Chain A
Amino acid sequence: METMQIEKTSRKGIVLFSEYVAGSAIRKAVKIGREEVLFELRDSKLKGRGGAGFPTSTKWMITAAASAPKKYIVCNADEGEPGTFKDRVLMMEHPEIVFDGMVIAGYTIGAKTGILYLRGEYYYMLEFLENHLSGMREKNLLGKNIIAKEGFDFDIQIRLGSGAYVCGEETALIESLEGHRGEPRNRPPYPVNTGFMGCPTVVNNVETLASVPHIIMKSGKWFSEYGTDKSTGSKLFSVSGDCENPGVYELPWGMTITEVLDIVGAKNTKAVQVGGASGICLSHAQFNRKLSYEDASTGGSIIVFNESRDILHILQNFMEFFVEESCGQCTPCRIGNVKLLEGVKKLRNGNYTFAEIRNLRELGQTMQVASKCGLGQSSPNAFLSILDNFSAEVFQYTSSDKHNGVNNE
């Protein structure tokens, strides 16, 4: 029985999909030494690719400087953001750069153990990834005395998630690894000081770690030449929705949305959701905004909607997602998302007052500052941006306008 079409196209790209020989960056990293690796990383100005955009070199330097008997590298492969699938493609097509990045991280900060936290939905990858790890152990790229360097011991284990979106948040992920409910911790202390089992821990996104081997091989300066001043290098964008060629694209930071829409073959585009459900929804007037940390920031997800789509239907889908995935630990997120969803349903029925909408806006802004973790802080983004950017459609909404507009739920 045919299950799915795994695309085995040989992708070409400027950074992540450029040529790389498995293991070569590990050898070079050991040759140039720990400090030099950190300097290259600093020069590259690489920022976390999961969406938050924290400078990777800072994270590594703090952990490398910490004196602790045990340190950990955690690769965050809990890719749950709606519309994101770049990590799936990276791990299925280029596991070597992800794992080499982890080994280099282990060498640089002095960790002996790396953990890949794979989301439960990607269970089918487990065997393939385990086989790849066994292959690396045979080639002495993992295990004891890696590449015959005395005292360079590092091994990677794979741990599975069990279907909780919030575990993509780094402290929730660590809670989950420790065998607890995946509820985010208070920060600070940050994982770089007190992480897995109380030890200094670097948690990096799959794509961040995959960038590292290329930076080591081709220098940080080379990497920083791509992209913009504050967002260097390239990014994998997962494009889905109403376009001719959905898929993963490696593009330099700083491209405008119009340019991306041209590349993926999108026509009659009404709206673009940048950054998944927790991102912002942009209308036609804002398609000249640049994809970068400083402008329209995204962890990779770009969802395209054409003119036939009902914007409130989309918003309701997002809010239902957050109501389901909120861990329920803090009140702004647990109650706030339910209230926003009720508001969206009222908007769809046309049964609202502007006073209510004003209250909901304020509630959204409160959630952005008062929620404990990134989930609650970013869940009102879609709601607020759609109210701002599509006010004409939202407030003139009547059920007769749209064939699918009547809310029967």
Chain B
Amino acid sequence: MLIYERNSLVDEIVDLTVEYGKERSALLPILQTLQLRHKCISDFAQQEVARQLSIHPVEVYSVISFYTFLHPESQGRNIVRLCQTISCDLAGKCYLVKAIERELGIKFGQTTKDKRIKLEFTNCLGMCDQGPAMVINERVFTKVTPERAVAILNEVK
């Protein structure tokens, strides 16, 4: 990591501690914001957050490893999460899986070679009445058909 990148990351984390405070309870909002902006929370960022909040870096890592949406390494520019829970499963999740895997040439759990898309399963998205549901980054798509899923994924940059 270049020195000016490090410095800007430190500045960013300091700004976040000003916004959310330096208590332990500020940890999750800070990590969530970093995840949202950088798509991952790097080792350096973890150490800096720990230093700012006066806790051990392992504490930060233990929190990151617990929550599904926080990642220490970048998973890809866009994370596509398909709901695998029963209502979406009944609504035809398996057809979506086949169509998406065919189109991108990767399996669920993998990332495309150009790091454009990471495919993941997720548990209930709370869209059971409009399944199958899919989330791309933070946007929710409901009543997705195989054809539409592929069209949406092609639009993702």
Mark A residues whose CB is within 8 Å of B.
Answer: 1, 3-5, 79-85, 87-88, 119-124, 159-165, 176-183, 197, 238-242, 246-248, 273, 277, 303, 305, 309, 314, 317-318, 320-321, 324-325, 327
Contact check: which of A163, A247, A305, A325 meets B69 at CB < 8 Å?
A163
Q: Please state if A160 and B123 are interface contacts (CB–CB under 8 Å).
A: no
Contact check: which of A81, A183, A273, A314 meets B124 at CB < 8 Å?
A81
Q: How far is the CB of A123 from chain B (nearest CB, A)?
A: 5
A-B contact count (CB 8 A): 136
Asked if B54 CB lies within 8 Å of chain A CBs, one says: no
Asked whether A121 and B32 contact (CB < 8 A) given A4-B141, A178-B25, A277-B86, the answer is no
Residue on A nearest B35 in the bound complex, by CB: A162
Contact check: which of A121, A241, A327 meets B87 at CB < 8 Å?
A241
Mark B residues whose CB is within 8 Å of A.
Answer: 23-29, 31-32, 62-63, 66-70, 84-87, 89-90, 122-131, 135, 138-143, 152, 155
13 A-B residue contacts at CB 8 Å? A4-B127, A87-B126, A121-B135, A180-B24, A181-B62, A181-B63, A183-B66, A241-B87, A241-B90, A246-B129, A309-B90, A321-B85, A321-B124
Q: Which residues of B sit under 8 angstroms from A121, Cβ to Cβ?
A: 122, 125-126, 135, 140
Q: Please state if B140 and A3 are interface contacts (CB–CB under 8 Å).
A: yes
Q: Please state if B67 and A162 are interface contacts (CB–CB under 8 Å).
A: yes
Q: Please state if A182 and B66 are interface contacts (CB–CB under 8 Å).
A: yes
Q: How far is the CA of A4 from the CA of B148 in the complex (A)?
A: 12
Q: How far is the CA of A280 from the CA of B139 in the complex (A)?
A: 32
Contact check: which of A82, A161, A247 meets B86 at CB < 8 Å?
A82
Residue on B nearest A123 in the bound complex, by CB: B138
Q: Apart from A179-B28, A241-B128, what 19 extra A-B contacts exist at CB < 8 Å?
A: A5-B130, A5-B143, A80-B124, A81-B124, A82-B85, A83-B85, A85-B126, A120-B69, A123-B138, A163-B67, A176-B28, A180-B24, A181-B63, A241-B87, A241-B90, A246-B87, A305-B90, A321-B85, A324-B123
